Amino acid sequence: MKKLYLILSIFMLISSLGMAKVSKKERKALISLYNSTNGAHWKRKWDLNKPVSQWYGVKVENDQVVEINLFNNNLMGPLPLGISKLENLRVLNLAFNLITGELPEDLALLSNLKVLKLEMNRLKGGLPQNIGGLSNLEELTAFNNFLSGGIPESIGQIKKLKILNLSSNSLKGNIPSSLGQLAELETLGLFENTLEGAIPGEIGQLTKLKELVLANNSFNGEIPEEFNQLASLQIFQIQNNNFSSFENLEKLKTKEYLVFDYDGFDKKKEFKELKLNRTRMADTKFEDIEN
């Protein structure tokens, strides 16, 4: 009898552990997200009477919320404050929804986050100035929104970042030189913003960079000589800017997928000496024309 009682006790303990709930603060943060983004009209709704582990798109490990994947789920409205309560979150995918408003200030406090996908929404305002607090982030995609302001200098603190795509927004100002500190970066997409000024030479330090897309901005000056260090570069798009010289393109180690500005091509001496295997020209302006 004692042995049977012991077995039953162990079974009940294991069962109770299996049914354990996430903390109240995490549950509250999730409910806040649900209410703020019109959860009643999501494609796949949450049944708030069920355990969090049974909510669509939510992954729970060891009674902690580690992933939220609500891709293309008809979220509408702003992201609420308090999202930092999900302190063990590793993946947050809210892409292809109708999320509006500004990014909450405490978003950058999610220090365990590895993937943040916000593309194809209606977000506005600036990126958090303390975005460098996302110290474990490897992927940040927020293209096709209405984000404005500059790219924060603190972004250079995200040392593990591999993918950064902020294309098709309204970002302005210069590219911060701190981007050169992102040694693991493989993709940098800044296409179609209102960025300006010279491209910092520090970008040439990104030796793992495979894709660099800077087209459709207002960059000027020369292509940095330091770009000859970009040994892994495969795709380089810089059309529709205001560059004054492309002389340093000749020094790039890859010339397979270059896409660069064209306007008065026959008047630019350096182009006549540049031999590329595959190129595509796109209209833009030069600041100076050689005689």
> CA–CA separation, 141 vs 118, rounded Å?
6
- Which pLDDT belongs to residue 232? 93
pLDDT in tens, 87-102: 999 999 999 999 999 9
Q: With contact defined as beta carbons under 8 Å apart, do 133 and 158 qualify?
A: no
- Overall fold of domain 21-243: 3.80.10
Q: Does the pLDDT value for residue 3 go beyond 60?
A: no
What pLDDT shows up at residue 189? 98
What's the chain's average pLDDT? Answer: 86
Q: Stretch 53-59: mean pLDDT, rounded?
A: 98
Q: Point out the least confidently predicted range of 29-43, 154-168, 269-283.
A: 269-283
Residue with tokens 């490990």, as numbered in its chain: 61
Confidence at residue 251, expressed as pLDDT on a 0 to 100 scale? 77
* Residue 256 binned pLDDT confidence (cut-offs 50, 70, 90): low
Statement: residue 105 has pLDDT above 60: yes
What tens digit of pLDDT does each residue of 43-55 get?
999 999 999 999 9
Mean pLDDT for 119-123 is: 99
Res. 278: pLDDT tops 90: no
pTM for the complete prediction?
0.85
Residue 27 Ramachandran class (φ > 0 left, ψ -120 to 50 alpha, else beta): alpha
Average pLDDT over residues 161-183: 98
Give the mean model confidence (pLDDT) for residues 165-193. 98
pLDDT confidence band for 21 (50 / 70 / 90): confident
